Chain A
Amino acid sequence: MHKENPNPTIHATNKRSLPSQSSKATLLGSAAIHRYHLGGSPSPYNDPASEWEREAVPDDEDLSHRWGSITADERSVALALSAAAYPIASASNYHSSTQSSADSESPKLDILQQAGFALYHPHRIHKQCRAIRYPSFAPSAHAKEVVAEEPKRDAITANEVFQIIRNIQDPEHPLTLEQLNVVRIELVEVVDLKGEIVDGEFPQASGSCRKKFSTVHVQFTPTIPHCSMATLIGLTIRVKLLRSLPSRFKVVVKIESGTHASEHAVNKQLADKERVRAALENEHLLGVVNRCIAGGMQIQ
């Protein structure tokens, strides 16, 4: 009988924890229930029917519905329940089992049946129980629950990023960058992903792995090609994005290609994190940037 149970350690713990129970066969099943948290209460035998009904798993159909696919754990439980319910049958031969099954029921069998457990005769379990008929190598239910608990979040969209920068005030005019057509939603590119490694080119060495990041690319269009405020506008956009976005984003702010005389120089300056940090320590410059950000909010 014990060979039916794939987890022999259950016997030992079971005997120690519930010494008052007389029938070893019943204890075997209850241990399996405990092991796989099928029972709701730590001592279900005190009030079996009412306690178990809530957490009961009536049959394998429900099992599969609840966890998607049948796991190895559930197979073990089904086998253990079967062995618990038919202690004599599991030990006897097949022909006598059909007749003697009613007599050989353990005292707790009807309790299990009342609770709605599916109890298969050991000789029929291979045909009737889906968990046995369609074995699966899926991870146990507990493992799957952990995976399911991984936090989910909505990806940040280009529109949301645009909402952050659209109402920055132009340093020279009482208008927002959106009103001046300096920023446009088409020029906002957002890639929001979890960091992952993908294969990439690595010409010099034998190989490498590239990492992809969540990125925000914003291009802006100065009003005139010689706009002296282009660096300041870019700095303000960058500062507001850095303050607003989660730190996983790598922010790039650039001038739209071909719209400014010294486009390359401004882009280089905006990309230099050291210069950006240093600029923000300049109280005058920081004041202007903050006024542009705050002023835009008042315009709206």
Chain B
Amino acid sequence: MSRPPPSTRPTPPSSSSSSSSSSMSTSTGTLVPLATLSPPIPGGSPAWHVAFSIDGRYLAACVGNPDTRVLVWEKRRRRRRRDGGSGASLSRGRGRRPLPGEDATDATKAKKSAEDDVDVVDEDEEGGREWELISTIRDDDDDDDEYGGRRRQNRPGSTSSRRTIRCAAFAPTCMSSLILATASFDGKVVVWERRRRDCYDGRDRDVDDDVDDDDDCEYDEYDDRDVNSFEAITQLEGHESEVKCLTWNATGSLLASCGRDKTIWIWECRLPGTVGGGDGNAARDGDMGGGEGAGEFDCLAVLQGHGGDVKSITFGQSHGQFGDGDEVLYSASYDNTVKVWAEEDGEWYCASTLDDTVHSSTVWCVALSPGGVRMYTGSQDGSIGIWKMRTSAELSRRRGSSSSSSTRGVGGGGGGSWDCVGRLSDSHSGYPVMSIDCAPSRAGHGRVASCGGDDRINVYREEVVNVGGTIMSSSSDAPKFALEAVAVDAHDGDVNCVRWHPLDGTCLASCGDDGAVRLWRYRR
């Protein structure tokens, strides 16, 4: 089930194509199915969310009730590139990469393997074949006798938990440890760590302290079978009801969760392998017992202010315009608004509530451009809002230069604001826009993908206007967007989430109400 049939490329129910409408003369891109990682199951559980790890090597998907689970795929490294002729033929297609010679020095080889670590761009059409299902996390696998005891210990009360897992997010940790946070409708956030052979050497002592009676287990953990299983290391409790979204900040020092109870919780994390999160040595040498050594979570703030469910959150850069911290948090809500939360003297507060006339219904999602100065919001009313961050200096310029001294705005730090500079009012045939994602800066093309209740995935391109030799695109106050590629009937039902691969600007992942998880190939 984890792998698509190797002989044929899987095809979704209907072939996708670029928009063939004659009015779309600018439409040049295509979005074609690359692989179906998880097949659609009629009448089965919807797939709510997909998330790539920071290095793009792992993909997680949350599948909801009744068969609640989190699926994790790993992209296999292509070893053939490094050994012998097949590798040479592969890299020949790239052009820019020199052929790996037979007599390459060790230094060259080391460099090459380092490149392979980050370079997961696959130029062949069978890229989807390389994704292998490595783990299926179920919150209720208490029938696993071998480790059940410890799991229950880590997650009290987990026996009754079968509710939808709505969101999953990989921590931006270093490659040695893979940490995944999941949000469940039962109000809990669970942080999972992948158990790996190379990680366990440093953690044996902790485990020994904790579990004395099953020495055999210790050896079993070195089995290949167990290398890919995820272990719950922490359970964060605090939300009264459904948790709907999770997001890590860029460094992995903060985890935010939001949900039905109208609140946003910010957790401070000290994960091994994150900046400021305590390195592995500290965790090893310190005398913290049990699973605590793997990462500590403290509640930093509970943000209240929304008048309805908080549907989606994401961290962004403040650019000095909101609060005195480097980071801000954006939240989209059932109350039709988007709020900006900033940090001032270590306290988080609501710095701004964005124009509530832009969306006439629930705001489902909020996405930031890689630079953090352009924001996209998708709503139940079927529209996409396009927002621009204005600095306080720009604002005062626009107001007129009467108050030249006030480069810093009122109310503490910052003074910037977000203005709605555009609106795609009918982006998904009038159906809700469920998810938006901006292509990573590494992709280099700045496309925006959206999906929604019309079963489609759209890829937008911001039209570049050339004014007197100056390219005016993202700085424009009235950006124009062209629909560049469409996957019609991407899923047999609403498409709930779409995400760009963090490194590969031609790869997208999506999931939908049909329970399918698909990869897409975007070409300009």
Contact = CB atoms under 8 A, between A and B. Distances in A.
Interface of A: 195, 197, 199-213, 247, 250, 268, 271-275, 277-278, 280-281
A205 B483 contact: yes
B493 interface: yes
B281 interface: no
10 contacts: A197-B20, A205-B481, A206-B24, A207-B483, A210-B426, A212-B429, A247-B42, A271-B380, A273-B494, A281-B65
B456 interface: yes
Nearest to B364: A274
B19 A205 contact: no
A250 B453 contact: yes
Interface stretch (B118-126, B229-237, B467-475, B484-492): B484-492
Contacts of A200: 426, 429
A287 B422 CA distance: 45
Contacts, number: 102
A195 B46 CA distance: 21
Given A200-B429, A247-B514, 4 more contacts: A195-B488, A207-B23, A281-B163, A281-B164
Contacts of B200: none
Contacts of A197: 20-21, 488
A191 to B, nearest CB: 13
B424 interface: yes
A211 B480 contact: no
A250 B428 CA distance: 14
Given A205-B424, A208-B483, A213-B454, A277 B362 contact: no
B26 A268 contact: no
Nearest to B23: A207
Contacts of A211: 429, 454-456, 488
B481 A210 contact: no
Contacts of A278: 164, 185, 242, 260
A210 B425 CA distance: 12
A272 B362 CA distance: 8
A184 to B, nearest CB: 26
B350 interface: no
B364 to A, nearest CB: 9
Nearest to A197: B488
Contacts of A275: 309
A281 B185 contact: yes
Interface of B: 14, 19-21, 23-26, 42-43, 46, 64-65, 163-164, 166, 185, 242, 244, 260, 309, 311, 334, 361-362, 380, 422-427, 429-432, 453-456, 460, 463, 480-483, 486, 488-489, 492-494, 513-514
| Interface-centre pick from B23, B25, B46 (highest chain A CB count, 10 A) | B23
B481 to A, nearest CB: 5
Given A203-B425, A206-B24, A209-B19, A274 B311 contact: yes
| Interface-centre pick from A195, A199, A202 (highest chain B CB count, 10 A) | A202
A99 to B, nearest CB: 61
A247 B185 CA distance: 24
A277 B165 CA distance: 12
A277 B164 contact: yes
Closest 9 CB pairs of A and B: A207-B23, A210-B429, A209-B21, A211-B429, A207-B24, A204-B424, A281-B163, A205-B482, A278-B242
A207 B242 CA distance: 39
A159 to B, nearest CB: 24
Contact of A199 (B23, B65, B488): B23
Given A195-B489, A247-B492, A272-B362, A206 B23 contact: yes
A211 B16 CA distance: 13
Nearest to A199: B21
B380 A272 contact: yes
A114 to B, nearest CB: 49
Nearest to A212: B429
Contacts of B453: 250
A200 B382 CA distance: 14
B454 A247 contact: no
B380 A277 contact: no
A202 B426 contact: yes
B480 A274 contact: no
B426 A203 contact: yes
Nearest to A213: B454
Contacts of B244: 274
Contacts of A206: 23-26, 463, 480, 482
A284 B427 CA distance: 38
Nearest to B454: A211
B238 to A, nearest CB: 18
Contacts of B14: 195
Contacts of B488: 195, 197, 211
B113 to A, nearest CB: 43
A247 B454 CA distance: 13
